[in-house]
Structure 1
Amino acid sequence: MNVYLDLSNLFNLFCIAQGFTTAALLFYRTDSPANRWLAWLMVGLTLQVVDYFLTRSGVYWNHKWLYFFPLFYSWSFGPLLYAYVRARAGQAVSLPKGWLVPVLIQGLFYLILTFQPFDNKAWFWLNVHKPFTRYVDYYVACGLILYAIYRSRPLATDRPLRLLLNGLGVFYVIAAIEPLVNDAYLPDNWPKFYLTHQILPLFVYALALIGLVYGWLVKPERPTAPITPPPPVTPDQREQVLRAIQQQELYKDPELTLTSLAKHLGESPNVVSRIINTGFNQSFNEFINAYRIEEVKRRMAAGDADRLTVLALALDAGFASKATFNRVFKEQTGHTPKEYLGTLDGGR
């Protein structure tokens, strides 16, 4: 079998090996639910890089029965990314019902095409997939990923994860625009998804590095090592956290993170996370946002909304964006801010 290898193909092979190896380590060397979601995301992304390699290396050309082999599961990337970030934030993962159905449809679509005669594949590519269905596939994937990034950013409490989400967001915004620009300015026979083909392997490699460098791959415990349960949360620890949040009003800092709170308290992030999770039965974000919402409600009841906008009240309370405030307010009160103000006005 003749395989064309250039620097790009060699790098793709490197990223494929790195992606599958890291996914396997994430699956089998940790007990973290977040790492398992990340492993599934790694597998999906790496399979897409496999498709790029088979195309550029000439394998598809030499083995035409492989055309449309089901390697694309891009409709799963958004839900998997959101599940990973949510699990990493210590929250229960509850994906929308039926989220797996579009992924199965996507896989079945390519599987059926795989077993078609080559003439049928060629006709479908030229008349249906190239002008129509590949754009549907592509833009649904971009939309799901961008929505997952939007939902995930408030849950990202550490800087590396926020940088990763920001990088993915910028990439997929550009990727969504790229085919439109290429259609307008490039000849018909030029690639329309050049950026995606070149940069996606870099993201696979970056994810693999992040999984290794930031300690998401925990070394397996020795069988003889005793498992020591964490010490219970003491009243003094609870009081220490409450004093920082209630009396010093640290929740009003929009840049407050688990790490910065731990530094303020002179504790490690793991200890502070355990105090909040065990002592208050909440995640860090739920705990802080509850105080921010109560602050906004207090000022609404005091009539501050008559001279200031609700957004100004939310920003004063520590929220960094209007979208996050509206979502959290509805989750905690069952009303939009406007509806809640109406209930207050009705009682005056």
Structure 2
Amino acid sequence: MTFYFNAYSSILLFGFLQGWIYALLFWFRGIREGRLSDRLLAGVLVALCFNIWVYMLGFGGIEILWQQLDFFPRTLAFLLPPLYYFYLRSQFDVTFRFEWKDLSHIVLFVVDAAYRLIVFAQGPSFVRYWENTYHNPLHLDDLFFVVGTGQHLLYLYWSFQLYVHYQSWIKDQFSNTEPVSFVWFRNFLIALALLVSADFMVTMLDLWLNLSFWEDWWNNLVGVVLIYYVSITGYAQRQPGRQLAFSDDPVVLPEQPAADAAKSAIVLTPEQKRLHEQLLNVMDAEKPYLNPDLSLADLARRMKLNTTSISQLINAGSGKNFNDFINAYRIMEFKKQVLMPAHAHLSLLGIALDCGFNSKATFNRAFKKQDNLSPGEFLAQHQQTQ
């Protein structure tokens, strides 16, 4: 069995090897550091590798999939969407573990694999009979493709929803969201959406123009690019120092009229008012916002309250999430210090870092959001009024 290297087979082979090498790296790192997310991302890479190996072997002149293994399951296409969805869930919540109900996510994969294995087990002659009599005339491959595309779209939607909800959650939990923002996840999901789009377009062109094996491989090239991106960027992704415990499960609240709900969002009880005043006193006197890594849990421990209570005090008392609440104090501190003559020799960024911000980008973004102008513009306006 000889593998022929050419422009087509070599590109796919290098991507295939890249995926498997990093899948092993992720797997061993996941075991070593006890991270389920790494092991699931290893599974994502393996699934992506099996998406391209059919064309890789075909371009390399190896016909085993069309001869000895005809009709044997060739890909993990129906397993890929659940893998990347649960990968995101396990990254956002270190306590995530699989439950029996999660087996429902692999039903399509099991049905497809069982169907092919049952037919394959009957022997080559039966496989040819089945393909010519039922499988091909009924266009079952086209049906599987449509179902697979629909599955991808559904899981991409769920994954994007999960990511959006997570982004909202961290703003209520951390004053410094950059280390836990996982911006690459958004790009990862966009890349997966591009792969699904490429698969769909190439398949439509193939049905329309009846492309040859050498002409309809472009979605496999996109798959190789995705393998390189996921392996390199995913492995280099910095893991947060904090233990994340995000849950996307909906919180069931008692029903109430819309007008009452709006009032309850802004009206504090006498006890809450007392605690809110205590919170403001702590912020003014102890200045916990100067800690760039301050979290809602840190502030709750300082106030001797649970995180739910402190979050409600901030949301109801200030109308802001935790991140905006803390940044407002940092901006106020920055404005005080930047106008001090003794600080005239300091840079704006240096003062911002002393006030609790962790980076120039975060500082500028928070300042612009609150005052609708940049720190430099604020300073210039003040100097003009002097």
TM-score bracket for the superposition, by shorter chain length: 0.5 to 0.7
Measured at CA, do residues 233 and 121 of structure 1 come closer, stay the same or move farther in structure 2, by a change above 3 Å?
same
- Describe the shift of the 1:203–1:182 C-alpha distance in structure 2 as closer, same or farther (beyond 3 A): same
Alpha-carbon offset, residue 60 of structure 1: 1.2
Which of 168, 171, 183 is equivalent to 1:159? 183
Q: 1:89 aligns with which of 79, 89, 92?
A: 92
Q: Which amino acid aligns with 2:21?
A: T
Relative distance call for 1:245 and 1:92 in structure 2 (3 A) is farther
**TM alignment of 1:82-161, pairs within 5 A:** 82-90=85-93, 92=96, 96-115=102-121, 117-122=123-128, 124-125=130-131, 128-129=134-135, 132-156=139-163, 157=167, 158-161=182-185
State, as a whole percentage, how many aligned pairs show the same letter: 18
Distance 1:38 1:61, change over 3 A: closer
Offset from partner CA, 1:185-224 (integer Å, 9 cap, x none): x1365679533333222212221112222246x9xxxxxx
Corresponding residue for residue 223 of structure 1: none
Q: CA deviation at 1:5?
A: 1.7
3-state DSSP class of the match of 2:75? coil
The answer to whether residue 19 in structure 2 is matched with residue 16 in structure 1 is no
- Greater shift in the superposed pair: 164-173 or 188-197: 188-197
- Note if 1:236 corresponds to 2:236: no
User: Residue type matched to 2:225 in 1?
Assistant: L
How many residues are aligned here?
249
Deviations 1:38-63 (CA, angstroms, capped at 9, x unpaired): 11222222122222212221211697
Separation in structure 1 between the aligned mates of residue 117 and residue 65 of structure 2, nearest angstrom: 19
What root-mean-square deviation, in Å, do the aligned CA atoms of Structure 1 and Structure 2 show? 3.9
8 Å CA contact retained: 1:72, 1:107: no
Q: 1:64 to 1:153 in 2, by over 3 A?
A: same
| Higher mean C-alpha deviation, range 239-248 or range 143-152 | 239-248
The verdict on how the C-alpha distance between 1:148 and 1:139 changes in structure 2, with shifts beyond 3 A counting, is same
Residue in 2 aligned with 1:306?
none
Map 1:56-71 onto structure 2 (within 5 A): 56-60=59-63, 64-71=67-74
CA apart distance, 1:151: 0.8
Corresponding residue number in structure 2 for 1:5 = 5
Find the aligned partners of 2:201 and 2:23 in 1 and give their Cα distance: 30
SS at match of 1:60: coil
d(CA) in 1 for partners of 2:56 and 2:126? 23
Residue 196 to residue 112, structure 1, CA distance change in 2 (3 Å): farther
Aligned to 2:257: none
Aligned to 2:176: none
Amino acid in structure 2 at the alignment position of 1:80: L
Q: Report the counterpart of residue 43 of structure 1 in structure 2.
A: 46
1:202 aligns with: 225
Which consecutive residues of structure 2, in runs of 5 or more, have no partner in the other structure?
168-181, 242-296, 332-354, 359-386
Q: Matches of 1:83 and 1:62 in 2, distance apart?
A: 30
Q: Does 1:53 align with 2:56?
A: yes
1:107 partner amino acid = A
1-structure distance, mates of 2:143, 2:65: 28
Tell me how far 1:77 sits from its aligned partner.
Answer: 1.2
User: Which AA in structure 2 matches 1:26?
Assistant: F
1:153-302 counterparts in 2 under 5 A? 153-156=160-163, 157=167, 158-184=182-208, 186-187=209-210, 189=212, 194-215=217-238, 233=298, 235-236=301-302, 247-251=317-321, 266=356
How far apart in 2 are the matches of 1:96 and 1:147? 16
Q: Distance between the aligned counterparts of 2:79 and 2:198, measured in 1?
A: 20
Deviation larger for 56-65 or 78-87: 56-65
Q: Could you give the per-residue CA deviations for residues 127-151 of structure 1, whole angstroms, max 9, x where no partner exists?
A: 6545612222222222112111111
The alpha carbon displacement at 1:83 in A equals: 0.6
Unaligned stretches of 5+ residues in structure 1: 219-231, 269-348
Measured in 1, the distance between the counterparts of 2:2 and 2:41 equals 34
Question: Which whole-Å CA distance do the structure 2 matches of 1:245 and 1:161 have between them?
Answer: 28
Equivalence map 1:26-37=2 (5 Å): 26-30=26-30, 31-37=34-40
> TM-score by structure 2 length?
0.54
Which residue does the alignment assign to 1:344? none
What's the TM-score once normalised by structure 1's chain length? 0.59
Q: 1:78 to 1:102 in 2, by over 3 A?
A: same
Larger Rg: 2
- What residue number does 2:179 align with? none
Matching residue of 1:290: none
